Structure formats: structure tokens, C-alpha cells
Amino acid sequence: MYTLTIDESNYTCQPGETVLDALLRENINISYACKKGTCHSCMVRSTEVPPQSAQAGLKKTLQTLNYFLPCQCYPEQDMTIKLPDQSDFYRMGTVIDNTLLNRNTILLVIAFADAFEFKAGQFVNLQKSDGVTRSYSIANIPQQSNTLEFHIRRLPDGKFSAWLHDEVSVGDSIAVSEPRGHCFYLPERREQGLLLVGTGTGLAPLAGILTDALAQGHTGPIHLFHGSRDIEDLYRIDEMRQLAAQHPNFHYTSCLSGKNVPEGFAAGRVNEIALSLLPDLKSWRVFLCGHPDMVNQMKKQVFLKGVASADIYADAFLITPR
């Protein structure tokens, strides 16, 4: 018999009982559907490393974060479990930089007193004092200085983005959630090709993933495609070109889908350009971030080009409907 701890309450898991059945017996509100390990709707996270059989079929990145399927889990030790809807833990950070990257995107840097653990490419929720909450991707890798870097695009009348652009300045405090998401680099199969495709501020998580992969000594080819409609909405072009000049295995292409395409830029949609330049993607690892239409379309396109579904990592920047 093992003890399951959720939010400081203890429950007992009987021998031969799955964690899901134990929680349902205890009237814990947890979603589930198949009880067979297929639908993944029951997925939760543990503080301890869960039994391997309870992680079968989950993405590698989720496995490293100790996510598991309670319907497939017969505990092998006491477990502390975090339900998905369990309210986020927020920490206060201090804004130390807020400058323009281009005409509608800012670089926001937030510093913390203590270490902030995350994987490059994950996102956090930022919260305003009135409770409005939005997700933003982390653009850097863990730093000695305990800082997080964000790229934030102003949306017309966007509640949160306009506030960050217009009212938040250096020295202000801001509430930041724990890191979330499973779109990040794992240092394995270092010879694998990496394809990174992003639109707009989709470059933020990709920049983090890229820095991480290079720092961890990835040896396979790394191709980054960054797209927007107009050149004024791209950013960090020179930095990326410089990085490509320094690392022979890193290739960078900036893509413009609008009418005006100066020399040195590829004309067309970022996903189409990536697909046409890289016809064979078998056994590649792919990261897709930014506009939900691009992300969802490209997921299918790279899958059809032979990428295994477990090797496709994506963050669609969904906008909260009003």
C-alpha cells in the first residue's frame, strides 16, 4: 500500500489498484476516458520518477518531466501528484529590460532573486494584478543571473501585450508561473537533423532551443526558418546570420510571405520554403512555434515527409478567445 499526496492531502492506493482508480474512489476530480493508456486525458505529473510502464507512449520530453498516465500506474513508492488544474504557483520577478526588437515586438527581461529552473523552449504564464493571465515562451537558456527573456508582440487592442508594451517598465514586479510545456531539446541522438520553424515571436522558444542544442554540442544539421509577412516584423536577423557563420552545422533562412522581398530573404510561406529546401525529413526532429494555422498544417506536412510523430514538438500560440 502506498500513499498518494495531492495538495497536502493523503490518499491510499490499494495493492493492485491503479492511481486513477484510487483517486476516483477518493472522489478526486480527475479527467479520464479510456483507462487503457491511449487517450492521455488522465495525464498528471509526479514529484517522483513514476514507474516506466505508466509513461509508455508519452513524448520523451514529458517523460523527463515525470508526467505519467495514472490509469496505467501501479505505484512502486509513495507519490506526490500534481493535477493539471491545480492552481499555478506564481513567483514575483523584476523587469530589468523592456526594449523594442522591431516595430511591434519587445524584448522583456525578468530577473529573479533565486534560481528559476526551466528547459529552454518552455513557456510560463504571466499574470496582471487584475488576474488576466497569458502564456509567453522563454527565449533564453537557464542563466547564472536567474533571468528569463521574452519576445512579446503587440496585438491590436491586446489586453496583455499592450499592457506589457505601454505600461510595464524597468523596476516593476510581475507574477510569473512555473514553466510549462514539453517543446524543448533533449540532449540525445546528437547527430539527428533538427528543423526549427517559427512565425513572428515563434522565434522566442526556437531561439532558446537553438542556443541549448548548440551549447549541448548537437552535431547534426540544424535548420532554422523564421517567417513573417513583412520584413519589419522579423527581428534578430543579423544575430542569427552571425551565429550561422560561426557554426557550420547551423543554417538560418528568413522568409517573407508579403510582396516586398529584399535580397537575402526567401519569398513565400515559412513552412512551404522549409519543405522545399529539405525534401527528406526521415528521422529528423522538428520544432514548430507560432501561428496556430502554420503549426497545425506543418505538423501534418512533416509527418507525411516521414518524421515520426514522437519527434514533432510544437507550441501553437493560441489566442485566448474573448
Partner 1 sequence: MSATLYERIGGEAAVNAAVEVFYRKVLEDYRINRFFDNTDMDKQIAKQKAFFTMAFGGPNNYTGQDMRNAHSRLVKSGLNEEHFNAVMEHLGATLTELNVPANLIAEAAAIAESTRKDVLGQ
Ligand X SMILES: Cc1cc2nc3c(=O)[nH]c(=O)nc-3n(C[C@H](O)[C@H](O)[C@H](O)COP(=O)(O)OP(=O)(O)OC[C@H]3O[C@@H](n4cnc5c(N)ncnc54)[C@H](O)[C@@H]3O)c2cc1C
Residues that bind ligand X (CB under 6 A): 123, 134-137, 150-153, 155-162, 201, 204, 315, 317-320, 322
Which one, 34 or 267, has the nearer CB to ligand FES?
A: 34
Integer Cα distance of 71 and 50 in angstroms: 12
| Binding site residues, ligand FES, CB under 6 A | 32-35, 37-42, 69, 71
Picked from ligand X, partner 1, ligand FES, none, the partner binding residue 184 (CB below 5 to 8 A depending on kind) is: none
* β-bridge partners, 316: 290
Phi, psi of 194 (to 5 degrees): -115, 125
* Residue number with the smallest Cβ distance to ligand X: 158
Asked whether 105 and 165 are in contact (CB, 8 A), the reply is: no
Task: Report 105-124 residues binding partner 1 (CB under 8 A).
Answer: none
Integer Cα distance of 218 and 215 in angstroms: 8
Q: Does 299 bind partner 1 (CB under 8 A)?
A: yes
Which one, 38 or 143, has the nearer CB to partner 1?
A: 38
Could you give the 3-state DSSP secondary structure of residue 310? Answer: helix
The residue range among 22-30, 220-228, 267-275, 302-310 that interacts with partner 1, by the rule CB under 8 A, is 302-310
Rounded to the nearest whole angstrom, what is the least distance from the CB of residue 183 to ligand X in the complex? 8
Q: Tell me the Cα Rg of the chain.
A: 21
**Of residues 21, 28, 40, 265, which one binds partner 1 by CB under 8 A?**
40
Picked from ligand FES, partner 1, ligand X, none, the partner binding residue 201 (CB below 5 to 8 A depending on kind) is: ligand X
DSSP string covering 52-67: GGGGTTS-HHHHHTTE
Integer Cα distance of 249 and 165 in angstroms: 36
Which one, 71 or 109, has the nearer CB to partner 1?
A: 71
Rounded to the nearest whole angstrom, what is the least distance from the CB of residue 273 to ligand X in the complex? 22
Taking alpha carbons only, the member of 63, 91, 70, 86 closest to residue 6 is 86
Q: Does 258 bind partner 1 (CB under 8 A)?
A: no
DSSP string covering 216-237: TT--S-EEEEEEESSGGG---H
Q: E strands along 83-221, which residues?
A: 91-102, 105-111, 123-127, 133-137, 147-153, 173-176, 194-199
- Number of residues interacting with partner 1: please give it, by CB under 8 A: 16
Picked from ligand FES, ligand X, partner 1, none, the partner binding residue 136 (CB below 5 to 8 A depending on kind) is: ligand X
| 170-201 per-residue burial string, b: 16 or more CB within 10 A, e: under 16 | eeeebbbbebbbbbbbbeeeeeebbbbbbbbb
Picked from ligand X, ligand FES, partner 1, none, the partner binding residue 161 (CB below 5 to 8 A depending on kind) is: ligand X
Picked from ligand X, ligand FES, partner 1, none, the partner binding residue 204 (CB below 5 to 8 A depending on kind) is: ligand X
Q: Does 321 bind partner 1 (CB under 8 A)?
A: no
Which one, 3 or 296, has the nearer CB to partner 1?
A: 296
CA angle 83, 86, 91 (to 5 degrees): 125
Rounded to the nearest whole angstrom, what is the least distance from the CB of residue 279 to ligand X in the complex? 30
Which one, 50 or 179, has the nearer CB to ligand FES?
A: 50
Q: Does 300 bind partner 1 (CB under 8 A)?
A: yes
Rounded to the nearest whole angstrom, what is the least distance from the CB of residue 43 to partner 1 in the complex? 11
Helix, strand, coil tally for the chain in percent (to 5): 25, 30, 45
If you ran DSSP here, which 8-state letter would residue 298 be given? H
Which one, 35 or 189, has the nearer CB to partner 1?
A: 35
Integer Cα distance of 240 and 249 in angstroms: 13
Residues in touch with partner 1 (CB under 8 A): 34-40, 56-57, 296, 299-300, 303-304, 308-309
